[in-house]
Chain A
Amino acid sequence: MADPGRAAVLVIGVGNELRGDDGAGIAAARRLRRLAPPAWIDVEEEQNDTTGLLERWKGRDAVVLIDAVGPGSHPGKVTRLDASHEPLPVRLRVSSSTHAVGLEEAIELARELGGLPGHVILCTVEGCRFTAGEGLSEQVAAALPQLAGAALAAAEELAQSIGPPTGAQ
């Protein structure tokens, strides 16, 4: 049951902006914020503490997560996955996540413990460079509008299906 005082959908960009393409989720969240999303979307960032997500999304019905995956053979490719009812595909579980607890693992842990929001969408971009250093690769930088757009679209769809909170415009 959603917290009536809070926005309908929580969007969280996950990553580390000092490790190349691992900053994609953070960059996408900031881009989304700059686009002045509607009041019923909360946009946040999470750098390096994926287990902390389990606290952040407590009491929420709908969450959209943005993160980089890879490295793979299609850098810049944006994918949308629904983790609400099914575990994510195995190949994502073996991602080169730079977090000790990968995002997919945090989601599955929450599911096991009964703490996963009813609706969880993951928007990912495939990265190619995860070495220490600021700045996204060309391909990922070029994919940012699409990534942020995918997150916004996912949030809008989720908001439609769960309805706005009481008192929201």
Chain B
Amino acid sequence: MSNNPGSGTRTIRTDYLARVEGEGAMYVKLGGNQVKDVKLRIYEPPRFFEAFLRGRSFTEAPDITARICGICPIAYQMSSVRAMEDACGVAIDRGPIRDLRRLIYCGEWIESHSLHVYLLHAPDFLGYSGFVEMARDHPKIAEQGLQMKKAGNALMALVGGREVHPINVRVGGFYRVPTKAELCGLIEPLQRAREIALGTVRWAAELPFPDIELGPEHVALRDRDRYPIDRGRIVSDRGLDIVPAEFDTHIAEEQVEHSTALHARIRERGSYLTGPLARYSLASEQLRPVALEAAREAGLGGVCRNPFRSIVVRAVELVEAADEALAIIEAYERPDRPAVEVEPRRAVGHGATEAPRGLLYHRYEIDEGGTILDARIVPPTSQNQRVIEEDLRAVVERSVELDDEALTLRCEQAIRNHDPCISCSTHFLQLTIDRG
């Protein structure tokens, strides 16, 4: 960090951004009390996996895309199978296979959100520089996080075959479906997870939050009467209402000078936010009663526009995912076949699902034999970049009176509010806040 009193400018510099997936690069320049520049800088071309998929069979898409993200492989698998099924004219929108997909996705939400809430985000609010230091004074928080994560992983392992990079997911369904007895073995850990999550909503609601309300356009899936996870139309709070196939018509990706990941914007308007805050604001009425009640008791209104409160929203989504998983298990009847037939044809297919971090869009072009000719993958963190930059600018403007160290921490926290998965949107993001 450096301060140049002569020039009247400050630059905040941090070597790398801790506690996000991968690494992050950010640049903030102040002139007096004015924010001169904010950039989220990405160094590595994001197109490796899209190129890697070309020439492969459509059946390989779930296995390959699962490797894009170690923390949300299911999201990539789900968006890819929906897109391939869309291309082949198949829609799995109801029945036990669809329920199993939602179930494994609940497992991933639990695993991903619990890692973030308890280990990556909680230290910010409790004044610790890392979760190791936090665990020293608050071992219970870390232990609960690991216990929740274990429940999520167990669910993913049972339905998906392996905890990370699950191998049981295929176009059309699964290679093997669990028995009712196997799923019932998860009831107890999921009930415990739900209890822990409810306690976490109450705990998170009491954390110290900066008083800040921001107004990006919120974008999420809409799935009739369910909280959106695995399917739906793409909607926003400013009038967007499209099917995934219309993604390109309404959303543009453009190269910006300081980043190799593309910045997304709604063509008619500009930047937008996906993820827990957007989902909550657009679909809180569709939350299961236990989750909705917890949200209301925590003081969340129908819409949440304070990005620091995302920790409360993620805790609510933990309740939702645990409760939904239990309901699916209770109603489950093992299907006769683990998958439906999906015959390839020459076509373009689109798939959009809600990864823990937000909307994840896949588009594939395949030939009559099912060979992938072209692939396009738009991760949530990539879509959120512009809003993260705008958040940073807003947070810095409101915090200029803080000293360098406190301001740096506040900026890092502002990025972590969005739980960015840098390894999805780019691959190496080296955090540098320049102030001087």
Contacts and interface: CB of A to CB of B under 8 A. Distances in A.
Given A98-B22, A100-B21, A108 B132 contact: yes
A131 B71 contact: no
B49 interface: yes
Interface in B1-38: 15-16, 19-23
B153 A49 contact: yes
A112 B163 contact: no
Interface stretch (B135-143, B212-220, B229-237): B135-143
B150 interface: yes
Interface in A45-101: 46-49, 51-52, 54-55, 94, 96, 98-101
Contacts, number: 77
Contact of B139 (A96, A99, A112): A112
B19 A100 contact: yes
B130 interface: yes
B146 A51 contact: yes
Interface of B: 15-16, 19-23, 44, 48-49, 67, 70-71, 115, 119-120, 130-132, 135-136, 139, 142-143, 146, 149-150, 153, 163-165, 423, 427-428
B136 A132 contact: no
A16 interface: yes
Given A52-B164, A96-B23, A132-B48, A112 B119 contact: no
B382 to A, nearest CB: 14
B44 to A, nearest CB: 5
A43 interface: no
Nearest to B15: A94
Contact of A51 (B49, B115, B130): B115
A105 B130 contact: yes
Give the interface size bracket for A toward B: 20 to 34
Contact of A113 (B20, B142, B153): B142
A99 B139 CA distance: 22
B48 A105 contact: no
A29 B153 CA distance: 23
Contacts of B49: 132
Enumerate the 9 nearest inter-chain pairs by beta-carbon distance, A residue then B residue, closest first. Answer: A48-B70, A132-B48, A112-B135, A100-B21, A108-B132, A132-B427, A49-B164, A18-B67, A131-B44
Contacts of A101: 115, 119, 131
Interface in A6-61: 16, 18-19, 46-49, 51-52, 54-55
A131 B23 CA distance: 12
A94 B427 CA distance: 18
Nearest to A114: B139
Nearest to B135: A112
A70 to B, nearest CB: 12
26 contacts: A16-B67, A19-B423, A48-B71, A48-B165, A49-B163, A51-B115, A51-B149, A52-B153, A94-B16, A96-B23, A98-B428, A100-B20, A100-B21, A100-B115, A101-B131, A109-B142, A112-B139, A112-B142, A113-B139, A113-B142, A113-B143, A130-B428, A131-B44, A131-B428, A132-B49, A132-B427
A52 B163 contact: yes
B25 to A, nearest CB: 12
Contacts of A131: 44, 48, 427-428
A145 interface: no
Contacts of B22: 98, 100
A133 interface: yes
A105 B134 CA distance: 12
A112 B138 CA distance: 10
A19 B426 CA distance: 12
Contacts of A113: 135, 139, 142-143, 146
Contacts of A47: 70, 164-165
Contacts of B67: 16, 18
Nearest to B48: A132
Of residues A46, A99, A100, A132, which shows the largest number of chain B Cβ atoms within 10 Å of its Cβ? A100
Nearest to B67: A18
A34 B381 CA distance: 39
A166 to B, nearest CB: 29
Given A112-B132, A131-B44, A132-B427, A100 B15 contact: no
A110 B108 CA distance: 23
A42 B139 CA distance: 30
Contact of B131 (A18, A54, A105): A105
A16 B130 CA distance: 23
Given A112-B135, A113-B135, A133-B48, A16 B70 contact: yes
Of residues A51, A54, A94, A108, which shows the largest number of chain B Cβ atoms within 10 Å of its Cβ? A51
